[in-house]
Structure 1
Amino acid sequence: MAEAPRSPEQRKKDALYRLEHDIDLWVASSDADGPYLVPLSFLWDGSTLLLSTPASSPTGRNLVANNIVRLGLGPTRDVVLIEGTVESLTAADLAPGEGDAFAAKTGFDPRADGDAYHYYRVRPLRLQVWREANELKGRTLMREGAWIVPE
């Protein structure tokens, strides 16, 4: 039997904890050949997510071509689903210390591979959080890039 549904405020708190502490998420993108789903490490800065993958990979190409992405964070029975816009960056485009922060959190430094890897900044537009069917109602916590749940 499922637990009682969490309040929207608790779901937001849980989502922010996962964004701050989890290391990896699923990245869904697509092109004319079909969909791609890959796990990537990320850094959350409080308002955006920073990802990295080779620029020549299907995911890297799709993120640039479509400028939109869907991210899945957490297990299937405690999911944070994020839709957002994508900005492609080189290591030189990062803010001071951002590459170091990414490497420290993820245990992986894309800069070590020269220019092969690019970074992708995702600005969330919609964020949904739910565990079970009893949390489907009210699962949207962010709409058009703004939190709709108070602190």
Structure 2
Amino acid sequence: MEISKRPREPEQRKRELLARLDQEMDVWVATADADGLPCLVPLWFLWDGEAVWLATRLRTPTGRNLRDAGQARLALGDTQDVVLLDGAAQMYAADTVPPAAAEAFRAKTGWDPRADSLPYAWFRVRPHTVQARNGEHEMRGRYLMRDGVWAV
């Protein structure tokens, strides 16, 4: 296979990544339990400019894994246009989640987990690594963030 497309400049990749984080509704959330059993689910999310906010029940494998392991891999897109975020997850109860984050989540998704009849936990996933690539030709330069610092 011959690759003839030119890769996007890092600045363009970052702009497009940030736009996707603002506009897209669902993110794939990958976690693992203490035995390494993986779990992958889609969840609604909010990007607040620094971190991704998620809400899920602690009774689910994802909720338990986020609470216990404190880390996740998040993915947007398909294999030809993918964004991967690896980050540390911090848990908040419904009564301790910052109101601004919960209100922004509600405004984006139309759903307020705090008002649900089932108990939900909130998780703030602060990325330490971010990759973005649109095809094989963008494998080089795909890391836009390393160690929590934007490369661009």
> Which of these residues, 28, 39, 42, is aligned with residue 26 of structure 1?
28
C-alpha distance in structure 1 between counterparts of 2:36 and 2:91, whole Å: 22
Tell whether 2:123 aligns with 1:120: yes
Deviation string 1:95-148 (CA, Å, 9 cap, x unpaired) is: 233212111101222112256110000000000000111100010010011101
Tell whether 2:128 aligns with 1:133: no
> TM-score, normalised on structure 2?
0.92
Q: Secondary structure in 2 aligned to 1:11?
A: helix
The one-letter amino acid paired with 1:21 is: Q
Aligned CA-pair RMSD: 1.5
The one-letter amino acid paired with 2:64 is: R
Long gaps (5+) in structure 2: none
Tell whether 2:68 aligns with 1:65: yes
Long gaps (5+) in structure 1: none
Deviation string 1:44-81 (CA, Å, 9 cap, x unpaired) is: 11001100110111000000111111000123221110
Deviation string 1:9-57 (CA, Å, 9 cap, x unpaired) is: 1101110000111111000001126110000011111001100110111
CA contact (8 A) 2:91 2:121 kept: yes
The one-letter amino acid paired with 2:39 is: Y
> Which of these residues, 136, 146, 151, is aligned with residue 148 of structure 1?
151
Identical counterparts, % of pairs: 48
After TM superposition, the structure 1 = structure 2 runs for residues 2-151 of structure 1, keeping only pairs within 5 Å, are 3-31=5-33, 32=35, 34-114=37-117, 116-149=119-152
> TM-score, normalised on structure 1?
0.92
Could you tell which deviates more after superposition, 56-65 or 99-108? 99-108
C-alpha distance in structure 1 between counterparts of 2:58 and 2:119, whole Å: 6
C-alpha distance in structure 1 between counterparts of 2:36 and 2:82, whole Å: 27
Q: Count matched residues.
A: 149
CA contact (8 A) 1:18 1:74 kept: no
